[in-house]
Structure 1
């Protein structure tokens, strides 16, 4: 059987790294990216992955990722996991810095869509899948989370339409729930974040999603 290939963004820590480790153990070939080269290479040690450090909001970096996909002969899975939090401490929308929100939209919405566009021919050819990591903040109203939540709501709707337009590709926008990650700690503090489960806790549900390949749609884990 042909070895499956996955491209995971934001793979140096958190959910991206936990999923990468699980897929590597299952025999997947991995292309991993994150902004920090040192952290990415350290995290990927032993996984046999191709690591390409860079910012997915940078068109030149996306071109490098698309070239790596072609060099690997195609793509079976794209995981858009890289994400920004935005302004901290989390501000109300009445005072949200618009320049920060503009940057956040570029990272959380435009970059995932642009990367999808770049690798979609390979995903079509392999009848692959896209996992866009979302949040409950995309659907619920939490004070202070308006900027971040708006970007995730936009990503959800892009995913929703993409699922209709690309019936040969599975598209899931996934809410993994609250996880003990650096991003959550930055938002709510380390003490509160430490009470949440680690990202590895939701990986089994993600693996079941990939193996079961249900219809495209919004998925709440686990």
Structure 2
């Protein structure tokens, strides 16, 4: 029986690297991201299903859930960075913080809620991509880190409430992605870990299926 994965933020970075690794392993993939052209190109290359859209849109979440009547793996990888350059909390715009919470916390929970029946049917797994900013006090990263801390606690409680599922909240460490480049500059980001290496480690996690919990790949 073929395994099925749903990956958000799949058009570049870690989402793309993970989709590529899973496709090579024979998984069926449903991929989503906001950039339709890039997503459809990736899906065509991998033989995957592309459903472009914004994960903060409830109608889009429902479309994704209908596409996976049975689901082995949900990866909540799509994430926003927030205001750049990264401002201190003393001047962080409250409306921008609300939008960041919507993207990084509320949207992943909404997609989990919508796909839980499909995940329960296969005793599947959920990977929520988080950050060391969820636990560390890094200047400028307060708003982003707060959203990731919230996502970690949601994951922690979900693991207790859904013992038949595997729920991992994964800190991948710094990766050479556009998001990191937007935060720290392209030169510094270029020295970070290749997302393909992180994706390979994540797949090993999925294959071995350890107990639910926080996983740091740093």
**TM-score clears 0.5:** yes
Question: Of 73, 76, 99, which aligns to 2:72?
Answer: 76
TM-score, structure 2 normalization: 0.99
**Which runs of no fewer than 5 residues in structure 1 stay unpaired?**
none
Partner of 2:89: 93
Q: How far, CA to CA, are the matches of 1:99 and 1:199 in structure 2? A: 31
- Could you list the runs of 5+ residues in structure 2 that have no partner in the other structure? none
Give the deviation of 1:45 after TM superposition.
Answer: 2.6
Which of 102, 105, 109 pairs up with 1:106?
A: 102
1:173 deviation in Å? 0.1
Q: Which one of the candidate residues 201, 204, 220 is aligned to 2:200?
A: 204
1:44: how far off?
A: 2.4
CA deviations on 1:62-113 (whole Å, 9 max, x unpaired) are 010011112xxx0000000000000110000000000000000000000000
Distance 1:42 1:88 in 2: 28
Q: 1:215 maps to which residue? A: 211
Within 2, Cα distance between the matches of 1:62 and 1:124? 18
2:120 maps to 124
Specify which of 143, 154, 170 is matched with residue 147 of structure 1: 143
1:1-222 mapped onto 2 (5 Å cutoff): 2-70=1-69, 74-221=70-217
Q: What is the total number of aligned residue pairs between the two structures?
A: 218
Cα RMSD, aligned residues only: 0.7
CA deviations on 1:104-125 (whole Å, 9 max, x unpaired) are: 0000000000000000011011
1:154 Cα deviation after fit: 0.1
